[in-house]
A and B are shown apart, each in its own frame.
Chain A
Amino acid sequence: MPGFTVSFHPEDRFFAFLRTVGEISCREGRLSGIPVAVKDNISTAGIETTCASRILEGYIPPYDATVVERLKNEGAAIAGKTNMDEFGMGTTTENSAFGPTRNPVDPSRVPGGSSGGSAAAIAAGLVPLALGTDTGGSIRCPAAFCGIVGLKPTYGRVSRYGLIAYANSLEQIGPMAANVTDANLLMGVIAGHDPRDSTSLDFPYLHTPDPEIRGMRIGVPEEFFGEGVDPRVASVVWEGISLLERKGAEIVTCRMPSMAYALAAYYVTCTSEASSNLARFDGVRYGPPADTKKTWHESFQERRRDGFGEEVRRRIMLGTFTLSSGYYGKYYAKAQAARNQVRADFERLFREVDVLAGPTMPTVAFKFGEKSDPLSMYLSDILTVPANLAGVPAISVPCGRVEGLPVGLQIMGRWMEDERVVDVGYAFEQGVSR
């Protein structure tokens, strides 16, 4: 097989990467020799994969995630593993056990999270393409904060095989890039059916972005401009939406009542699933070895106390509680019901409009340490979680700035209409650049 080597020695001033691969061998393909950064919760054979957690330090997967395999088949150079909030649990990348990534636009601010390393790597120009993962906004939030493009695909469109699970029913791997065209290219490589993921669906992605949006109906849910949304961000996003209108789309305001409890439903679901997903890190098969001088439970309890960061422990305990006997009905079951109502809301709205638009994040990037209490941090995910709860595609594209800080425009589409949200994003990008 004809192969070649790519060198990758970036000046990583913002700590985007946890580790890089200096000399990368690749083959010919659609991504021949293009360096692609991979979030550290995606398994890479032979390259340490830690989810930015002490509990997985030293773990070298014996296999590639399906998306990595697909990248390699298309000649991509797997450049390194990017920093993230530990196990994806965060909105700032401050929860990395190895230190925070800084926002290349303003290094005194967070890059967003949890795929902050991937977003920063692109924003800093270290790589043109990166993979992120999005459980409740973890691709779109850092894309918005760093002024790049990030797509959360329809649930099932991209294989999760090899993605170290945080909240299985919500998360998807997706492309991040400086522009829609590149994100679209990466999406075409990673999407497609994978029998190794039982939730994967057979909808290949073969698409060339089309900026024509005349006659398209764009819904704008009032709730996306409600309480907690910075008015300056709201106004920048409204300007963006008017640009789409000028390009021929019809703007329809609408309502999404399930937003009232969407965030609660999201946090109950993701913490419940996480409490179970993160139980396997017992140090027996991989990770820093368990202390065999102690008993199983002693060793396990201490490993989990010392190996997980505070936010991870909080979420595991929350999820343990919401699943526990006597509370399952109050929390988990209710959250699933709420989730169904979010789905129903989307279905109802998508009978009237083709896509929904609004801000990606209620604010611009925070200063480090700005959000110190967990609940207010959780609340900043309010605009991104609905797409995850319903499994529909959503893209964030750069849409102007507030005091020099990027703002993201979020476009959500019907189930399996990733192409359409990409098209609207592309139309917007074209409109802005003209």
Chain B
Amino acid sequence: MITERDTEHIGQLADIAIHREELAAFTSRFNEILEYFDLLDQVEVVESIEGRECNVFREDEVIPSLSQQDALANTREKEEGFFRAPRVM
């Protein structure tokens, strides 16, 4: 069972703020869904050695980059060619 405190913790882990009034609803939905996921308990985990597609590479060849202007085109928070993000501290 997931408690409301757990839901808050998951929100923190997911870096999603949750409105207080949504907490109860989210929690009960989670519990319904997670209970359904318990169906997976019956599945046995066996290491599959199937021949998956592997080793897809490209050669080390330079492809032209975007211009600085194009790179920054989708934001107005920019300064001297840098993107501007919130402070980390």
Contact = CB atoms under 8 A, between A and B. Distances in A.
Given A284-B83, A318-B30, A268 B10 contact: no
A331 B29 contact: no
Contact of A301 (B15, B32, B53, B89): B15
Interface in A169-213: 195, 198-199, 201
A294 B86 contact: yes
A161 to B, nearest CB: 13
Interface stretch (A86-94, A102-110, A257-265, A394-402): A257-265
B29 A268 contact: no
Contact of A341 (B16, B43, B66, B84): B43
A299 B86 contact: yes
Given A300-B86, A301-B17, 9 more contacts: A285-B74, A292-B77, A296-B85, A316-B14, A318-B30, A331-B40, A334-B41, A374-B29, A378-B33
Interface of B: 7, 10-11, 13-19, 22, 26, 29-30, 32-34, 36-37, 39-46, 48, 50, 53, 56, 58, 66, 70, 73-77, 83-89
A60 B30 contact: no
A426 B76 CA distance: 51
Output the residue of B10, B70, B86 with the most chain A CB within 10 A: B86
B40 A284 contact: no
6 contacts: A60-B74, A296-B87, A301-B15, A305-B19, A308-B16, A316-B16
B15 to A, nearest CB: 5
B86 A296 contact: yes
B75 A261 contact: no
Interface string A233-265: 000000000000000000000000000110111
B86 A292 contact: yes
Contacts of A287: 74
A302 B17 contact: yes
A334 B43 contact: yes
Interface residues of A, number: 65
A60 B75 CA distance: 10
Output the residue of B10, B48, B50, B75 with the most chain A CB within 10 A: B75
A285 B75 contact: yes
Contacts of B66: 62
Nearest to B19: A305
Given A60-B73, A198-B56, A340 B48 contact: yes
Given A62-B73, A317-B26, A334-B45, A295 B86 contact: yes
A98 interface: no
A264 B75 contact: no
A335 interface: yes
